[in-house]
Structure 1
Amino acid sequence: MTVSQRAAATAHSPVREHRRAGGPRVFSVDRFGAVADGRTKDTAAIQAAIDAAHASGGGVAHLPPGTYLSGGIELRSRVTLHLEAGAVLLGSTDLADYPPHEGPPADCDAGQRHLVFARGATDIAITGAGTIDGQGPAFWEPSGRPPTPPDRYWADVVTHNWKPVGNNDRPSPMVELAECRNVRIEGVTLRNSPGWTLRPIACDTVMIRGIVIRNPIDGINTDGIDPTACQNVFIADCDIETGDDAICLKSENPYGDLRVTRNVVVTNCVLSCCCNAFKLGTATRGGFEDITFTNSVIYNRDVPLNERVISGIAIEMVDGGWVDGVSVSGIRMRNTRTPVFIRLGNRGWGQPDPVPGRLRRVRISGIDATGAILTSSITGLAEQPVEDVVLSGIRIDTDEGGRREWVERNIPEEIAEYPEARMFGRLPAYGLYVRHARGIRISGTEIRSTVPDPRPLLVADDVVGLSVDTLDGTGPGTATSLLELRNTRDAFLSRSRAPQGTDVYLTVSGFRSADIALVGNELSRATSAVATTHGAAPDSVVSDGNLVGR
């Protein structure tokens, strides 16, 4: 008799199930032969409990306290997998215990093998105060790369010290829920994932609340939560420490038709990693619409720079899709390398004639970041700019301490490169670098360097429609302007104050610069208000109502 036949035969047996008063049918895995000693494989018993709950019309597959060694199991519709406090679902280290599921390629970061899997299921849940442990280090080996010099730690990530064993065929994502509806994951701890930890993909109505993720900081590809092509997703009250991206929204679907990633709310989370904390991308084949990230903490302790978060907020579009409607607010960051990274590129995956996508309507407010070491940036393409980005109420303290020669660096376009905040190298501004953009508004923002930095606070290059209001920072010293506009048109700068140590407040360069207004600013501490250079016409800037020194 097969496992499924045994499950069906015992689905209504009083020996095999019990019903809590007024509650669902509960199928305890020990009644199906689970040993829970951490050595005996309990895969069949766990699957039998799941199948029995499903066959009875719905119920709970229950794991009492104990350690259940298991290969891949599959959730069914109307079944809750409940791990009691003290219960550990321990993933086998034998790859043969994980049957492949067709859809994704077998040898990629998100492949065909999983510890917990569901496809096309409805009304499923993973709950409880127990733990799912994937024994991830068993699937990694040293990469053998040369040691990274400490002066390059700012651009490095410690996870590169490891690589997947063999041909990258490992249980990843550890928990994969594909094309499901009404999904709930609550209370559990997920740890030691061999690759990606939790991916709902092409799902509708997903609630993830109060879970803990603990993966090694050097764990290779150990993303925390990756909602992919999902709609109506709620992630709240989660505590994530991992090696790769903490929460990463993606747009792809190897299981079927691509859907828009839409209506996603992430709130009240604490995130730490050595990649990106909250990210859209990099798989960006389709659209992202109406995404909100609020009221959360992003942090690293006092660790080497290559163990720090690369970007607190990373919004990326590089595969021809679109971003339209992202709101980020109320975020506290500590020791995050780059607070904000917004990138529109054209990687052209799977496209014979790559076409850039669109990135627009982004609102970021209420960010308080300390310990930054890399410049925040908003960058698009000359033929396809980033559009309509608003930054407001932002405070950043940066410890980078740049060099004067970085101001004159020729910043590469890197059109088809993998997007990452460090991709351009050191940037010409200490606070914010904007290139190939339209409709950028900055207000109520303060960016201060905690160490001497002879670069401008803001550099804008090929920007149309720039508004800067109440921007404050630290003076860069002599021979450097506080703000630098290169080939920028239709700019309005108002109600800001030149800090002590400002030589030139605003430098405008490039023959395409035009229609720049400097109005109502307090510039008495600047040696001079405006300089035009490198082809910029003297009448490209109009000054009115500014308070200047005598």
Structure 2
Amino acid sequence: MPTHNIKDYGAVSDGKTNNAQPIQKAIDTCHEEGGGQVLIPSGGTYFTGTIELKSNIDLHLEYGATLLCTADFNETTTFREPYRVSAIITANHAKRITISGGGTIDGNGRAFVKESDSNYIKRTHLKRTFTILLGDCTQVTLRDVVIRDTAVWAIWLGSCDDISITGLRIDNDTMLPNNNGIVVDGSSNVRISDCHISTGDDSICLKTTGGGFPTSNVIVRGCTLISTSAAIMVGLEGHRNIRNVLFDSIIIHSSNRGIAIHLCDDGLIENIVFSNILVETRLFDLEWWGRSEVIYVAAIPWPNAKLRGTIRRVRFSNILCTGETGIFIYGWQQGLIQDVQFDNVRVTISKTSRWPGGSIDLRPYPRPPPGQTWSYGVFEQTISGVYIKCAKDILFRNCEVQWGKIPEYCRHAIEAHQVEGLSLENFRGRSVDPRKYPPVIQD
């Protein structure tokens, strides 16, 4: 494979000079010659604005090399419709592209911070630069790279097909909102494995907001995830289907929400499997969406929007959970959530953080009162090991609810309202005080 060293094209590793032009020249020359490797050599920091990968290119960052992203929008290019955002490493309708090596991509997120406070959140400039944005690409490989301190999403895969992501380490500021790890958006045939991802926003997110395509055939294995939002998020945005997804052999810790499925728009979310997962969650400041739910399944429309989608055929098996809130299943109305099964799932509720609990989070709330903001939608409520509202055909087989350090607002093992077809097979669990509360209440 021919190798094009960016230093041969005039790149310098002083951490200040914008190297976008020499890096792009190396990429273009390599592409014109039929493809090969564009080498970012070890030994320094290469400051850069926007670069665009082309077909048959391997952008290889050697161990000891850092690609530092600019925070100056005059040094970036706005990606095409429908994305309309600035990004540093981009590709458009490219085939057989790779980003590899043991080097580091530094998103320079700290340059976008305006202020921070003691409540575990930093205020940022509204306009920020994405790190990696690939649109309508096929046969993409991302391997062994370290990505750190991104200002917004680290990796955005929009309308892509045949993606392999393995061995990545994404280390973002967990106090910074919207700095998601990997966003699979309207993309199919995606394999993610053996990654460590630590983020303020969702670590791995599947959605359908970009080019109008579904997200399907996604496998995620062997990852460790940390998030101040949701470690795993399926849904939240998009009008197309998300289907045929497997999450297996994953560890989630030090997170707000563990596993989340959140339908807010049209489309189906179906055939989703979670297996062999350890989940550990805790409460954070209310600025962050989520109340330490170990598993969260919700169908709640965006404000002033109609919800015509459905969550169905979801399976959870062999999952060990510890959190300050348990399993939360919430349908805004009947017919939105159906056929959800839990097999060999154990939940332990225990108070571990300094943040107050005893509330549920329904943000984004569909009908906020006049004058209220996005923060509206958190309501005081007692906490049970499992809470279900407006759902159909929910099965718990060989499952258990346990209690650790119990706050005064905890109540039942299972609390169910307007649930059609709740089945309990060999379910084990009691209320926090059997003298006051039954283990299961249902109406």
TM-score, L = length of structure 1: 0.72
Partners of 1:250 and 1:348 in 2: CA distance: 18
Q: Tell whether 2:159 aligns with 1:171.
A: no
Point out the structure with max Rg over C-alpha. Answer: 1
Residues in 1 aligned to 2:260 and 2:128: alpha-carbon distance in whole angstroms: 27
2:413 paired residue number = 457
Cα offset, 1:385, TM superposition: 3.4
Partner Cα distance (1:273, 1:201) in 2: 22
Which one has more relative contact order, counting CA pairs under 8 Å at least 6 apart? 2
Asked if the contact 1:442/1:467 (under 8 Å) is kept, the reply is yes
Matched, 1:225 2:182: yes
**Equivalent residue for 1:84?**
62
Q: Distance in 2 between matches of 1:43 and 1:64?
A: 15
Question: Is the aligned partner of 1:363 residue 2:315?
Answer: yes
Shift of 1:410: 11
Determine which of 309, 320, 342 is the counterpart of 2:266.
320
Q: 1:63 to 1:440 in 2, by over 3 A?
A: same
Residue identity matched to 2:79? H
Range with bigger deviation, 422-431 or 331-340 = 422-431
One of 209, 215, 219 as aligned partner of 1:261? 215
**Counterparts of 2:364 and 2:136 in 1: how far apart (Å)?**
35
Task: Note the alpha carbon deviations across 1:267-291, whole angstroms, 9 max, x for none.
Answer: 1000012110011121131101101
Q: Give 1 or 2: higher strand fraction.
A: 2
Report the residue type matching 2:53 in the other structure: L
In the alignment, the residues of structure 2 paired with residue 260 and residue 413 of structure 1 have an alpha-carbon distance, to the nearest angstrom, of 24
Q: Secondary structure at the match of 2:27?
A: helix
Cα RMSD (Å): 2.4
Contact 1:346 1:357 in 2 (8 A): no
Would the aligned equivalents of 2:360 and 2:379 in 1 still touch at CA under 8 Å?
no
Three-state SS of the structure 2 residue aligned to 1:124 is strand
Out of 201, 206, 227, which is 2:163 matched to? 206
* Residue ranges of structure 1 left out of the alignment (5+ in a row): 1-23, 107-111, 149-157, 301-308, 487-550
What is the percent sequence identity of the aligned residues? 29
Q: Is the 8 A contact 2:360 2:380 kept in 1?
A: no
How far apart are residue 221 of structure 1 and its match? 0.9
Distance 1:476 1:192 in 2: 42
1:45-194 → structure 2 map (5 Å cutoff) = 45-65=22-42, 66-104=44-82, 106=84, 112-142=85-115, 158-159=120-121, 161-164=122-125, 168-172=126-130, 174-194=131-151
Structure 1 residues 365-514: aligned runs within 5 Å? 365-370=317-322, 372-400=323-351, 416=366, 423=377, 425-452=379-406, 455-477=411-433, 478-486=435-443
Aligned length: 420
* Aligned amino acid, residue 437 of structure 2: T
CA distance in 1, matches of 2:243, 2:174: 31
Matched position secondary structure for 2:270? strand
Q: Distance in 1 between matches of 2:228 and 2:383?
A: 24
Matches of 1:223 and 1:417, distance apart in 2: 27
**Equivalent-residue separation in structure 2 for 1:383 and 1:328 (angstroms):** 24
Unaligned runs of 5+ in 2: 283-291, 369-373
More helix by percentage: 1
- Alpha-carbon offset, residue 362 of structure 1: 0.2
* DSSP 3-state at the match of 1:396: strand
**8 Å contact kept, 2:300–2:307:** no
Per-residue CA deviation, residues 125-181 of structure 1 (Å, 9 max, x unaligned), is 10000010011110121267xx65xxxxxxxxx23x3122xxx22212x10001100
TM-aligned CA distance change 1:424 to 1:485, over 3 Å: farther
Amino acid at match of 2:395: R
Residues in 1 aligned to 2:157 and 2:236: alpha-carbon distance in whole angstroms: 16
The residue identity in structure 2 corresponding to 1:133 is: D
CA shift, 1:93, in A, is: 2.6
